[in-house]
Structure 1
Amino acid sequence: MPLTFFWGKTTEIIFPGWPGESFGGYISALVLVFVISLLVEWLSHARLVKLSSSNVLTDGLLQTLMYAMRIALAYLVMLAVMCLNIGVLVAAVAGYSVGFLVFGSQVFRKLRIEPYQDLSDLPPLNC
């Protein structure tokens, strides 16, 4: 494993031997990193749990499960970027950016009375 960032299709991402030596495998790995980082942003801004006073335990468990999935996916993206391949870094940043544009910014939201009201199930990811 290199100790500095590098370009090239010959890299190992997360698992030994993956994505292999082929250019198609490398592109599919970049697409997978993009999609996973996009999913992290979707989970960060999604409103999937309808909070109710009668099912507090169930709602809390669903939110906890969503939080665990978001953190697990975020760690997978972090591990992928740790291969130090610039293409993987660009795919991760692009996935997070597109995800924020679509799910987190005001661009694709309908105008609301309170436009900056937080409607997500989970707290924001903190660095």
Structure 2
Amino acid sequence: MNMTHGSMSTSNSSSSGYGGMNMKMMMHMSFYWGKDAIILFSNWPEQRLSMYVLALFFVFILALAVEILSVSPNIKNGMNPLVGGAVQAAVYGLKMALAYMVMLSLMSFNVGVFIVAVIGHAFGFFLVKSRALATANKAAAASSSAASVAAKV
């Protein structure tokens, strides 16, 4: 297909395609560093450093929440199976919604967003696993002390 330079119209009027959007902002398709990003919502963080830092904090909290929600809530004995399943499904749905928001944030291809998302996931994983280890150690200590008391009797 042979196209000359003048064969394509580059009008920025609101009557052009894309639903009337003004196509001034360039969308990156490779990693880049800088505060000039669009994260999740149009015109956010508005090319201001303070808003960019807030956006990074938001992505960190999203990634942290995804990891914390990866632990299913405990279902108590005697609970209605339908209610227990509904609670677990609601937590799973929330976790997936937050995970997709992190993924959409990463599609800005901003290196800062990528680093903050990875740190948020890692810190959330650390919190979940250290809590599980502390619970297991507490249970092991309780069972060993109960066994030593039973041996003395």
TM normalised by structure 1 equals 0.81
Say which structure, 1 or 2, has more relative contact order (CA 8 Å, 6+ apart). Answer: 1
The whole-number CA distance in structure 1 between the counterparts of 2:32 and 2:110 is 5
Following superposition, the deviation at residue 105 of structure 1 comes to 4.5
Per the alignment, residue 9 of structure 2 pairs with: none
Greater share of residues in helix: 2
| Matching residue's letter, 1:22 | R
Match of 1:119 in 2: none
Counting aligned pairs with the same residue, the percent is 37
One-letter code aligned to 1:25: M
Distance in 2 (CA, whole Å) between partners of 1:66 and 1:104 is: 19
Q: Does 1:40 align with 2:40?
A: no
Matches within 5 A, 1:1-127: 1-45=27-71, 47=73, 49-105=74-130, 109-110=134-135, 111=137, 112-113=139-140
CA distance in 1, matches of 2:81, 2:109: 43
| Whole-angstrom CA distance in 2 between matches of 1:20 and 1:108 | 42
Change (3 A) 1:106 1:52: closer
Distance 1:59 1:106 in 2: 23
Cα distance in 2 for residues equivalent to 1:106 and 1:61: 25
TM superposition shift of 1:50: 2.9
Cα RMSD, aligned residues only:
1.7
Question: What amino acid maps onto 2:102 in structure 1?
Answer: V
Provide the rounded CA distance (Å) in 2 between the counterparts of 1:107 and 1:33: 25
1:107 is displaced (CA, Å) by 7.9
Question: What's the offset of the Cα at 1:109?
Answer: 2.1
Computing the radius of gyration from Cα coordinates, the structure with the larger value is: 2
How far apart in 1 are the matches of 2:45 and 2:52?
A: 6
Gaps of 5+ in 2: 1-26, 141-153
Q: Deviations over 1:25-71 (max 9, x none)?
A: 00000000000100011101253x43333411101000000000000
- Structure 2 SS opposite 1:63: helix
Counterpart of 1:120?
Answer: none
For the Cα contact (< 8 Å) 1:52–1:59, is it kept in 2?
Answer: no
Point out where structure 1 has 5 or more consecutive residues left out of the alignment.
Answer: 114-127
